[in-house]
Structures are given as C-alpha cells and as structure tokens.
Structure 1
Amino acid sequence: MKLLYVFAMCIALSFASLHASAQGCVAVKNMSSCSLEYDSMPKRGWQFSLNYRYFRSFRHFKGKEEQKERLEKHTEVINNDNSIIAGISYRYNKNFSFAAAIPYIYIDRSSLYEHDRVHRYHSQSSGIGDIRLTGYYGLNFSHSSNLTFGLGLKLPTGDYNTKDYFHTVDGPQLRPVDQSIQPGDGGLGIITELNYSKMLGRSFNVYLNSMYMFNPRNTNGTRTFRETLNPLYANEAIMSVVDQYFARIGGHYVFNEMLSAGVAGRVEGIPVEDLIGDSDGFRRPGYILSVEPNLLLTHKTHSFAVNFPIALIRNRTQSLTDKQTQAITGQPRHGDAAFADWLLSVTYAYKFTR
C-alpha cells in the first residue's frame, strides 16, 4: 500500500503544472491539466484544483541571441502575466478520467513601439481564456508503471479581439492588444497527450509528460496593425491561429507521505508551421528550454505544489512571414520576441472522498 501511495503522489506532482504558458511574447496559451491526479487505485472520485501562474517577460531574442541593447536603451517590451486556472476532474475507474480547465488571465503589457515610440505606455487584457475538455485513458502495467493517453478539445471561449487604447502620434486609438496577451486565439484546438511514469525502488519516480495541440484554423481576423509600421509587413496584418507543444522529462524523490521534491527538463513552444491547415498571418514562433525544480506537499485529501521553471535556452525562430519578406527584399529578416527568466506556478488541489 505504501508503494501505491508513493506512486499516486508522484504522479500527482507530475501533473500539478503540466503544460505551462510560455514565458513571453511567444504566445503559448496556458494549457494546464493540473486538475488531474493519476493514481493506480480503481476508485471513482472528483478532484478540484486551483493554479496560479506569474511571469515577467522582458529579454528580447532573435534566434538564440539576446538583444541586450533593448535593455540598455530601455526599449524592451514588458509583459506581466497573471493567470488563474480552475480545474475539475472525475475519475470513472482505474482506466478512464475526464477533466475540464477554465483559465482566467490578467496581463499588463508596456512598450514604446506600439505607441508614440518615445514614451512607455501600457495596454491590458483580462477575462476568461480558452476552456479545455480532455479525456484520459490509463494503462497500469504494474504497481510501479503507468502510461496515460489524453485526447481533448480547446474551445474558442476566450476573446481573441480584446482592445485597448494606444497612444499613437495621431492621438489615442482603440486597437486590438498584442497577440501574446489576447485571452484566446479563436481556434478550436485538438489536444493530444502522452504521459508515462515509473517508480524506481520505493521512493524515486521518473516521468515523461508531453502534449501537442493542433489548431487547424488559419487566421482569426484580428488585426495586428503591423503593416502600419512598415508596408512590407502587410503579410503580418492579421493574427495567425497557432499550434503549440510541450514536453517534460524528470524525476522526484518522496521523502515521506507528506513531502516530495524533484527536478525536470522541459521544452514548450510554437512551431513555424502548423501540422494541419495553413499558417498565414502573424505569429512569433519559438521555444524555451528550462530546468524545473518542483515541490509537493500532501496531507490527506489536500495537495499543494510549487513548480519553478528557469529558462536556459530561448529561441525566437524565423517565421514564415520573416522568410517571405526576406525573399522580397533580399535583406535578412528575423523578428524578435521577449522572454522571461522564470515562471512561478502554484497549485492547490482537493480530492473529494466518499
């Protein structure tokens, strides 16, 4: 029984912050599955979770090279991202589980280039994001090994045309906020997941979590106004609806029935092109490689987890529109993006028992 308890607690930590938001202007949306706790016991039951996340993006990259002059000249774009994700899950039996995640975001963004290029002004967005509904099928090969498949939908419930006032040289103008702080993306996404966990001995667990979200819609009709910066950016006038991916591999040690801790390596990002459908419009493709310390406290039906991914490599890859402009002009073209140094994710979960 102790091994089963240890295994359940380890898997709960693995899912405590699965699919975090990318740390910056590479606009990966929050894809939390933190409401789920995968244990090996065939009991029905509900679990509620609440996850809070925060990051501050301000370091600009073109490819893997940091544009340090942006900080020196104080021209960096700063996103302060706060989000709360409410989750509810239901375990039907030892194989099947179902989950829903409802995100609420508040993001403040400040920049010069979106306004009069002289003064730093702010734009904000807030509201319900895109809701996720996911079903899971788990295979328990033994008391120490578990493989889980997930399939779900990301519903276009978040506003993808949130607007705010921008202080341009022609006066205040009401425009859509930047793609990176829009609560939604306007696409009906297909979520696929693969997760594996294995106990090594009685106290150490290794795990793999992975997700890819297909977003077949091409563009969502929301203007970026980037063509007003330069006529050559006409191909970036409308926001693209993007795929996204996430993967984590790591391990953690269970000290006792209340405390476990570990570390993982993780990658998350947006591809240059979607796997299904066209990839027109404006996007900032790229990825982040991070190291992620984590901690889990459990007492009876209560769980409290902290995850703290720290960015090691940040890469704003060359987009399709970058390549198109480069082909037209014959000059190198590679857009940038702002990234954070770290992300804080705190999760509380309560499991209802009968």
Structure 2
Amino acid sequence: MNTHYKSILTLMLFASLSTLQLRGQGCVAIRHFSSCGGNNLSSNLLSAGEWQIGMNYRYFKSFRHFRGTHEEPDRVSNETEVINHAHAWDFSVNYSLSNRMYATAILPFVVNTRSSLYEHGREERNTTFSRGLADVRLGLGYWLFDPARSPKGNLALGLGVKLPTGDYNATDIFYNVGPEGTPQVRPVDQSIQPGDGGFGLTVDLQFFQQLSPTLFAYAGAFYLANPRETNGVRTFRETLSPILQNESIMSVPDQYGLRGGFSYNTPVPALSVSIGARYEAVPVEDLIGGSGGFRRPGEVLSLEPGLTLMNSRTTLSLSVPVAMLRNRPQSLTDLETEQATGQPRNGDAAFADYLINFSVAYRIAPDDAKAPAPFNLD
C-alpha cells in the first residue's frame, strides 16, 4: 500500500474513530450508541465487493455531578455521588457495494454497573447491573464525490435505522425500598439500560480534506431521531418525592454529536496522531414525536487526542476524549415541576472526566491476490 493511500485511510479512521459514539460520558446519554457509518471510515473506502470487520471497545466512569454547568463537588466529598461504570463492545461488518456506496451492520453489547445511595433507601450504597445485547444499527452510506477523482477530499452522507433489540426493562435488586424496608426487584436506571425501546432513524455526515502530504482535516456529525415518546418502563422516581410524579415513566430521547480536528502522519512508519474536539448531547426536546417522560438532557464538549497504527490490512486505534465542558440543562419535567411548585428546579446528572475508545479493524478483499487498491493516488 503506497504512502498516500495509507495517509487517506489513517485520516478516515480518525474521522470516525468511534464514529461519534455517544455515551455522553455519564448518565446523561441514556444508552450506548454509534452512528451507522461503522467504527472507522476506512471501511467505507473499500473497492466494490470488499469487506471490513471490526470491533470497538469503549469505557467510562461517571461520578461528577452537575446542575447546568455548575459542578457539585460535595457529592464526591460526602460520598453521595452516583457512580456508573460502562463497558461497550461494537462488532461491525462493512461491505462496499461500489467504490462510493457502502453498507454497515453494528452488533453492540454492553456491561454496566451503577452504585448509589438514593436508589437504595439512602441507607447504604449498593450496586445494580445490566448486560447483554444493545440496540442493533443498520445503515447505508454514499460518497458524494467519486473517490478516484477526489482522492484528497470527500463528503459522505449516511442513513440508517436503530432497532429496539436491547432490553429496555432490565431489572435488578434494590435494597431498603420494599415494604418494611425489604429488597425489591425494579428496572435499573435508564443510564444503564441496554436499550431504549424505540425504533430510531439516523443521519450522519463524514468529511475529510488533505491539507498537506502529512496533514488532514476531518469532521463528522450524526443525529438519532427517536419518534417514540415513552417506553412504558417505570422509573420509581415518584417514590422518592411526590413532585416527581411526572418522571415516573422513561422517555425515549434523541441523541446527536459532532466531531472535528486534524490528523498528522508522523515520521514513524504506520503511526499517525490526531487532535480534535468532540460534542455530544441529549436534547431537551425531540425532533420528531413527543418529549414526555423522564430523561436527563445534557451535553459534553471534549478535547479528543488519538493515535492510529496500521498496515495494509489491519488498523489499531486509540482515542481518549477529555471533558472540557459539561452541562445538565433544565428538562421539560423540571420546568413542569417548577411551574407547579413555584420553586426553582433543575435536576442533576453525573459525568465522566474522560472516555476510552479502542478499535481494531481488518480489511478482506474478495480475491486478495488480484484485488486492486480502492483507488490510485499516484
């Protein structure tokens, strides 16, 4: 593989490393999600008939509580913080229908834990768990410009669906909350539910531009629209306070994200580094359908460094987005409660300091002995 081709593939990997994978770095984003473009854009630059298989692992620990942009450090100092540990694995298969059109299927799995006091009668800290298949995504993408004629820059548009395959009513044991303080089986918090119970529609954009022989600019964006308003799963928040009656059922919220930055091919063979910004959000109101039920809207702006190591077939990548701005805005249920009681109301949410993304991808040609490069950059 020539140097220029390797440079393009390296950029493509960074352009969608974790492809705007949205977990919100905390319990703001309700569940695991990736856009339908796959775990790296190099999979979308294959020749017709080529395949790429990949895996992306993601981890975070959320524990810092925010109301609006204000952090509440006393939650950590007095040990009342909620602590989420989230592990997610995306297994992806990408197929190039032509030099410009590609198809993607993503099979996600999650393992989550949530440690808290307030969900267990405020008497002792206990942990709830969830695990299993999350919401499967299927998608199609298309490069708007012919890669053979535009090897130094291109823009792709992707459309897809999110299927409600993940369990959105996963349960565990909650202590000190049943009759006379007995344990009780309840749905776990929506931040660790494997699925959301909604059929979603996705749109994503992916862009790159070569600025010099070793420097590239990249950008990406996606939006997940969830038309379903609520999924019927009880939160039990109304048992914490009568004023939370309007938060007794889980919402099925939208999600969206933006990324952009620069990638540089180092003098070290096969090694590239990148730096960029990453913005992720769960909106207060959905684009399509109602916005009722309980949700934790929020946004995270992160600085995202990364590195990639690749050869002709295999790509290894690591990125660690570090949160710079975290915001938990007033939700619709917060506003309803404020108007009903006349008292200010803005719920809180826990965020992580950083997120770890690690991915591996492998390209497979129909006939490795005869397969040409996706396009000639010489």
Checking the alignment, whether the CA contact within 8 Å between 1:209 and 1:248 is kept in structure 2 is yes
Say whether residues 1:5 and 2:10 are aligned partners.
no
Q: Which residue of 2 aligns with 1:254?
A: 265
| Structure 1 residue ranges (4+ consecutive) displaced by more than 3 angstroms after TM superposition | 38-43
Checking the alignment, whether the CA contact within 8 Å between 1:8 and 1:39 is kept in structure 2 is no
Q: Which residue of 1 aligns with 2:70?
A: 65
2: CA distance, partners of 1:201 / 1:68: 45
Structure 2: gaps spanning 5 or more residues = 368-378
Q: Which residue of 1 aligns with 2:202?
A: 191
Aligned pairs for 1:128-277 (under 5 A) are 128-140=133-145, 142-169=150-177, 170-255=181-266, 258-277=270-289
Specify which of 288, 301, 307 is matched with residue 295 of structure 1.
307
Distance 1:237 1:40, change over 3 A: closer
TM-score using structure 2 length? 0.91
Q: Which residue of 2 aligns with 1:340?
A: 352
AA partner of residue 115 (structure 1) = H
Structure 1 residue 7: Cα displacement:
1.3
Q: Deviations over 1:245-277 (max 9, x none)?
A: 010010110125511111110100100000100
The worse-fitting range, judged by mean Cα deviation, of 325-334 and 10-19 is 10-19
Structure 1: gaps spanning 5 or more residues = none
Checking the alignment, whether the CA contact within 8 Å between 1:36 and 1:47 is kept in structure 2 is no
Q: Which residue of 1 aligns with 2:20?
A: 19
Find the residue that maps to 2:122 and give its secondary structure: coil
Structure 1 residue 344: Cα displacement:
0.4
1: CA distance, partners of 2:340 / 2:98: 58
Q: Which residue of 2 aligns with 1:281?
A: 293
Distance 1:41 1:118, change over 3 A: closer
Aligned pairs for 1:314-329 (under 5 A) are 314-329=326-341
Q: Deviations over 1:127-153 (max 9, x none)?
A: 100000010011236221110000000
- Of Structure 1 and Structure 2, which has the larger fraction of its residues in strand? 1
Structure 1 residue 27: Cα displacement:
2.3
Find the residue that maps to 2:119 and give its secondary structure: coil
2: CA distance, partners of 1:220 / 1:39: 34
Q: Deviations over 1:277-306 (max 9, x none)?
A: 000000000100000001110012011000
Q: Deviations over 1:37-88 (max 9, x none)?
A: 2565644311010111110000000000001110111000000111111111
1: CA distance, partners of 2:344 / 2:275: 39
Distance 1:331 1:35, change over 3 A: same
Structure 1 residue 19: Cα displacement:
2.0
Aligned pairs for 1:115-134 (under 5 A) are 115-134=120-139
Structure 1 residue 4: Cα displacement:
3.2
2: CA distance, partners of 1:25 / 1:15: 23
Distance 1:70 1:155, change over 3 A: same
1: CA distance, partners of 2:216 / 2:196: 36
TM-score using structure 1 length? 0.97
AA partner of residue 185 (structure 1) = D
Structure 1 residue 92: Cα displacement:
1.5
Q: Once superposed, what is the RMSD of the aligned Cα atoms?
A: 1.3
Structure 1 residue 35: Cα displacement:
5.3
